[in-house]
Structure formats: structure tokens, C-alpha cells
Chains A and B, each alone.
Chain A
Amino acid sequence: MAQAPVLEVQDLRTYFFTRTGVVKAVDGVSFSLLPGETLGIVGESGSGKSMTALSIMGLVPKPAGKTVGGKVLLEGEDLLQKSANEMQHIRGRKICMILQDPMTSLNPVYTVGNQLIETLRMRDEGLGRGLKERAVELLSKVKIASPENRMGNYPHQMSGGMRQRVVGAIAMAGSPKVLIADEATTSLDATIQYQYLMLLKEIQKETGLSIIFITHDFGIVAKMCDRVAVMYAGKMVELAPVRDLFNKPSHPYTEALMRSVPNVDEEVDKLYAIEGQPPALDKLPPGCPFAPRCPYAFERCLHEYPTPVTVGEGHYAHCWKLV
């Protein structure tokens, strides 16, 4: 693994400054992403996984939200130091994002072909005539049947799965290095979701793209990812190669979360239920945010946030129990 990472995130902090106080949506997140690698970021709603993605893209909602610290190194260049114009240039060419709901990410009053060509025109200035052929090529790459005819369709004339493919085609238009899929398959039906995941895997194999999957579904992680980061209340509590995480979940939150998910492959007698709810991010306890729900919590957990502990090769967890 001597490869240099495409993306390196160091101690990223994104806070929201509101009337009621500072909300620490992302609080010290660090990870790296190798070329062709798939990283999963799992967590519940409000854990900061989407905000991490938006911070990387430089799209944190302003003025309340602000990335106050850390570095986002894309091929060695810090994206947080770039101006808005420079970021505009980087988004779409080097780093792309697919969101959950394709109906809201596509423009309903333009045809699909129009939107694809628009993207291509923004990307490669000067490529005047070949645009239409390239757009058709992109549609066939995401396996849309009879792409020439589909170019004239509006988003509402397509099914959810097909729309999400179009979004994928638009994302691939700039041949990016990194693709962030934020709950990209959550709104799709099971068999369609599976098709889409397999398609992404195929594209990744062809192009050597690095993917970050943001999801709450351990199934997607098990099927797609090489490494996983688990987030809770804005903090990354565990980072591990995928097999290590499933075989030896080390942070009590990861362990509890895994035991509380029902299983298709075997019968479970009784699911473990984590008591209570995730904390409000503007009223975080001073120590470990999971301490109030943690069955192993002791005195130290309530006062001090744990330092990362190496559990195995490339496997870290933030927990005092492991020290």
C-alpha cells in the first residue's frame, strides 16, 4: 500500500453558529482515500456524515455553517484554501457527488440530454460538435437502454432507478477522481438498488475511481466498501478495514449498532436495542458523546474525549475501554 492517497482529510471541523449556541456538526474527522478504493461512512441521522461530505465539497450552508479547522487534501492540494471560483472548477472535474433523491437533483424543465450536454459544455470548453455523441455515450455507459431516444426525455418520464443513472452519468461527465455517494440508493427499490450498486462497481473497475459511500446501511458497507468509518455525534468513533469491522467491532457504539440490525441471513432470537437517543449536537456532553448510552461507560468517559487506540492494522477506535 505504498500508493499516495487521492484524498486526505485531516482533523476536519465544521461548526454551525446559531442563536442557541455552537453546533459541532463535524468535529475532528480524519481519513484518507486511496485511488480505486471505496470508503464507507456510516452513522445515524445527525451524526455528521453528510456534513463531512459537504465540507469536502466546500458546500457547507452559509452563513451559519463554517469549516473552522482541518485540511482537505485532494492530490496534495488543500481544498479549504481554494477560492469559490477555483472550487467551482474542481467540483465536477475532480470530485463529484450523487445525492439521495434524483427528482430534486435533476432540473424538471429541461430534458435529460440538455442537462448532460450542459454539464459537458461546462467541463470541456471548445468541444463544440462532439457533445451530443459524448452525452449518448455517457448514457449508454450507465446502461440506459436506447440512449438516443432517452436524450429527449424529461426527468418525470423516467423511473427512479433510471433518473439516478442519469445523475450518475452527469457525475461521470467530468471523469472525476473521487465520487461521493450520499445515500445514493436509499430511495430505490431493492432489486433496482442492487443493479445500481453493481453498476457503480463496474464503473469503478473501469476508471479506477475512488468512492465514498455515505450510508446508514451496513449491508451496503458489507457489499461495497474496502474500509469503513463509523460516525457518532460529529465524531469519527471507529475506522477499520471492512472485514475487521464486521469481525471485531471495537467501539461500543459500532458493536451495539451491529447487534441492533436485523439479519437476512440468519434468524435472530432477540435484537439488542440501544437505549435512549443520539444527543443534540448543541448540547454535547464534555466527554465521550456515546457515554450516556454506553453499557461500559465509567467515570473517565464522562469527562474526557478518548484518544484513538490502534486495535489492529489500520483499525482505530476512540474508546477509553480499549486503552
Chain B
Amino acid sequence: MSQNGAATEAVISVEKCQKYFPVSRGVVMRKTIGHVKAVDGISFKIKQGETYSLVGESGCGKTTTAKMILQVEKPTSGIIKFQGKDLAGFRSEEYREYRASVQAVFQDPWSSLNPRMRVGSIILEPLLTNQKLDKGEAKEKLESLLEEVGLHSFQGDYYPHEFSGGQRQRIAIARALSLQPKLIVLDEPVSALDVSIRAQIMNLLRDLQERYGVAYLLIAHNLATVRYMSHNVGVMYLGKIVEQAPTRELFNNPMHPYTKALISAALPSHPDIQREDIVLSGEIPSPLNPPSGCAFHPRCPFVMDRCSQELPMLKELKPDHEVSCHLY
């Protein structure tokens, strides 16, 4: 899908990243009583022109991972590399460049656009802070960006409230595209939109990827969206990646019991489809006090004695297909 031969190079690679949030108690004598292990040692790579998806239920750490990549949160430990270089060693100039090359589109286009700014200024803002453009160039650039995402050039003078949800998401995408980023973090980009609009936005994102070779980190909970959009998928549970594989492999041959349960819980696309019925008992445990051993063992239908004692490691069972489970 990418344009040139550099497809093998990872745009971003995350190595054993952890993010712990301290939990404290007391007003005067504040002390830390524990840590929420939001992200607990995850590693993955995103190549140029590809989409990597993180799926999982709320609280599994997928958004925290995105925040670390966007440098909103600093990882507690671990390395994030951008085009092979460690972010921690960046000087301010390099940081600036990094920030320009990594952009984001968020879930709710009602709160992610400033209601007091005209759409044209919203889209051009990142461009004008990073580059010197004269008025004519800016106008030209704006028109081409609007056209790129399927809006009319006169709509640059409107305010966000004059647009529908789908159009607002197009505006957010145009803004993210303006600096020709290498990576766009998409945090639930279609889940706030209407069903008939979702397909428009997903197709737009795929077209743009094909044209510019931009990489996506997609955060989603809807497996159907993930299957349609991504090349590689990581399944997260309580801060850890429990299974990681190319999309087709993961959906055709899920191995981790949690992945199987997630796919089973994804509602069928036709009433005649019968699936292996895995109804998980219980709820997601608190990340403040995760279960010992494999964090999934209290809900796992295939639990063994070993699971509560020993932490399973991510093992490569097939080329590119990694699973962390004692079953294998």
C-alpha cells in the first residue's frame, strides 16, 4: 500500500513501555499507596503506510498507549522510537519535528474543534505554527485540504456548529493531514458517528492512507471496524498485549481465550451465523490490584492451576502471530 520501498521501516516502535499512575491517600500526610498499571510492558511496531489497531475493553490501556505516543504522557519506563531514534534523546528541534509528524483524530468531533474558530483557521493552525506561509499559499493549501477530505472550499469560512458530525470529523482529518504527518493516531474515529456516515469516514481514511502512505494507530472497540481498517491488530487486556497478529490471521485463527471471547461477543452480521458461544463471567478486574499470574485467569474458561501463579510471556507461535497464554 505504501508508495516507496521504505515500507519495511517502522515509523514508530514501542518497546516494553510501562505507564504507572500513582494512587495516593490522605490530605496532609499524602502518601502513595499503590499504582494503577495502566500500561504494563507492551511492545509493537507500526510500519509506514500500515494501520495497527489496539482493541480491548474500557480500562485496558489503549488510550494511555496513544497518549504516550502523542507525548501527552511520559512512559514510566520503556522506549518509544520514531523512525529508529529514541524519543527520550530528542532535542527541542527534533521534538518539534516529531510533534509535526504525529497527529491525532479523536472520537468526539463536537468537543475536539474550537467552536469560536472558523474551520479554515482550525485546519491551518498547525501549518501556520510550523511553517511560514504567505496569505496566497495558505489559501491554496486550505482549498486543497478541504477538497482532499470531501468538503467545499467556501466551507472554510464556516464555524464548526454549521457542520454535521461526519463533516466535523472530516475537518479534524484535514487538520491532522495539514502537516503531512507520518503517523496519525485515530482514537475511536467513527464510534460517535451515525451508521451510514461511518462508512464514508472509514473509506476516506483508507483512501488517504493509500495516497500518502501515512501510518495509523487505530484505537477501537468495534471489531468489525478493526477488521475493515487494519493490517495488524494487538488485543489488550489490563495493560498488556495478550495477542498480536496480522488482521486476517487474528480473525481466522484467534488463539488467546480473551480474543476468542471478544470475537464471540462481537454480534453476528447475519442471524444464521452461529458462533462458539463464550459468555465471560464477571467483569474486568481493577488495574489497581490486578489478579496474580495471567490477569485474565479469573474470567478464563480454560483456566489451569498454573495460570494464577505464573505470568505468561508473549510467544511467537506462527510467523508474526504472538500469544501470551499457558495453553500454548
Contact = CB atoms under 8 A, between A and B. Distances in A.
Given A219-B267, A222-B270, A243-B272, A191 B261 contact: yes
A272 B261 CA distance: 29
A219 B284 CA distance: 23
Given A222-B267, A223-B271, A242-B271, 7 more contacts: A44-B195, A190-B262, A192-B57, A218-B267, A219-B269, A264-B251, A278-B194
B228 A268 contact: yes
Contacts of B280: 191, 194-195
Give 6 closest A-B pairs by Cβ, nearest first: A219-B267, A194-B265, A260-B199, A262-B228, A189-B57, A262-B224
A216 B194 contact: yes
Nearest to A190: B265
Contacts, number: 116
B203 A273 contact: yes
Interface residues of B, number: 39
A222 B283 contact: no
A268 B268 CA distance: 15
Contact of B224 (A192, A195, A261): A261
B199 A265 contact: no
Interface string A262-301: 1111111011111001100000000000000000000000
A246 B270 contact: yes
Nearest to A45: B194
Interface residues of A, number: 41
B284 A195 contact: no
A195 B279 contact: yes
B202 interface: yes
A194 B221 contact: no
B283 A263 contact: no
* Residue among B202, B203, B265, B271 facing the most chain A CB atoms (10 A cut-off): B271
Interface string A182-218: 0000000111111100100000000000000000111
Nearest to A228: B271
9 contacts: A191-B261, A191-B280, A218-B267, A223-B268, A262-B202, A262-B227, A264-B263, A277-B164, A277-B166
Interface string B67-85: 0000000000000000000
Nearest to B270: A246
Interface in B181-236: 194-200, 202-203, 221-225, 227-228
A159 interface: yes
A189 B59 CA distance: 10
B248 interface: yes
A47 B273 CA distance: 28
A274 B267 contact: no
A222 B271 contact: yes
A194 B279 contact: yes
A201 to B, nearest CB: 11
Contacts of B327: none
